[in-house]
Structure 1
């Protein structure tokens, strides 16, 4: 049977401009990409189940985290902090702030998917890194909905099944720390995140966050370095703002210096004419 394709859809262009027609993507291609991500990441739920059981959580608690929280980075952060002897409240706070990023994903996905109001609470459970990574590049709304649904469903089912298997098999593995399975979840998260860091600001922010988290890890209780690593974003934005001001320079009165070039020369001429009281000559070059 031939692959089904959606008809071209009109995507809104810039204000005052014309709409851009996006080329449709075959449904089979979207499903294939979504299944690839869902299966690859869903299998790492086994590592979470083993790690969670090894940190002292019961089978019920481990499965409840995957069913209700369903955001791998936050889950690994929570059980990792608990395994390191961290305060439960600090561990929960670190997991919570890691999960807050999904709220920002939701703001973008809600516009892109435009789901019926009744479905939005259900879809919110699947707003995570992986579904966002698959949905955002899609050229049409149909493709975005297919990518989001297939990725979310595949990942949710596999993640919870492998979490159960991992928790049940933790005893058979013995010392879970020796296997290094606690690094599987964060490794998958970083692999998905790295291609999304396209601008210099994003890369610098990520690098600073890593330095803060690793540097503070030996001196602060478990879970706290993750919270403080979030300070990387405002620090980088502040420094970049200062850098732009430095490039322009400031005068004695604290106001930005006049820009160079013809525009700056024209403004200097206006100031000189105002001081002497002489009329300013209008030229064709300055457009006045």
Structure 2
């Protein structure tokens, strides 16, 4: 029995590693873009590197660097990042059970909560697989993102205009691939996600990057609690 369990666990980890590699690849590409944009704009190499280790939130980092490069002060950059990162509070509640017991595990897990790790974990069919998916994708994503940022920062302006490579499309494409199976299987998720997505698309041209995702959480207002067993119809 233990041999079968070990074989099953190994197979699950292998499949999660394979699926996570897509997210890691996208993360590395966007990380290179972030590091290059920051240094090419005039920031020292250590700024995007330290920010990626401590903040670890792509949209917040891009927005904060945008504020700094536009002449804004550190306070404005921090406020922008905090505003965009408020959405992770909802993600943390959704994946809290996937972090496992213990304060140290929860403290580290909280730092690894991103759009991608939450989507990847919640797409799994059972609690055990969700926990493995969160930690495998989260630790790998953190490592690849920071290595990508370091590489981009060291490259500096050598990459030229990073926007022409379409690097910003990598993360949305991978994230869509992660959430589509769950949306197909769960009508309740579609009822919340589709209006939220429509609102985000409508706001994208007129608000800073990251804010549309935050506003899309308004779709949760359409969530309905499942009826308790035996409740009257």
Give the TM interval when normalised to the shorter protein: 0.7 to 0.9
- In the other structure, the counterpart of 2:199 is 208
Structure 2 residue runs of 5 or longer lacking an equivalent are 184-189, 223-233
- In the other structure, the counterpart of 1:245 is none
Q: Following TM superposition, by how much is the alpha carbon of 1:183 offset from its aligned partner in structure 2, in angstroms? A: 5.7
CA contact (8 A) 1:30 1:147 kept: yes
SS of 2:112 mapped into structure 1: coil
Q: Per chain length, whose mean CA-contact separation is higher, i.e. which structure has more relative contact order (CA < 8 Å, sep 6+)?
A: 2
CA contact (8 A) 1:50 1:167 kept: yes
- Which of 151, 154, 157 aligns to 1:171? It is 157
CA contact (8 A) 1:45 1:160 kept: yes
More helix by share: 2
Distance 1:78 1:182 in 2: 22
- The aligned runs of 1:212-251 (5 Å cut-off) are 212-215=203-206, 223=208, 227=211, 230=214
CA contact (8 A) 1:46 1:164 kept: yes
- Which of 129, 143, 146 aligns to 1:160? It is 146
Comparing 75-84 with 49-58, greater Cα deviation is found at 75-84
Count the aligned residue pairs: 210
Structure 1 residue 5 and structure 2 residue 8: aligned? yes
Structure 1 residue runs of 5 or longer lacking an equivalent are 7-23, 217-222, 241-288
Distance 1:145 1:229 in 2: 24
- In the other structure, the counterpart of 1:191 is 173
CA contact (8 A) 1:136 1:144 kept: yes
For normalisation by structure 2, the TM-score amounts to: 0.73
SS of 1:94 mapped into structure 2: helix
Distance 2:145 2:220 in 1: 36
Superposition CA RMSD, Å: 3.3
For normalisation by structure 1, the TM-score amounts to: 0.61
Comparing 192-201 with 60-69, greater Cα deviation is found at 192-201
CA contact (8 A) 1:134 1:147 kept: yes
Q: Following TM superposition, by how much is the alpha carbon of 1:192 offset from its aligned partner in structure 2, in angstroms? A: 4.2
Distance 2:213 2:108 in 1: 31
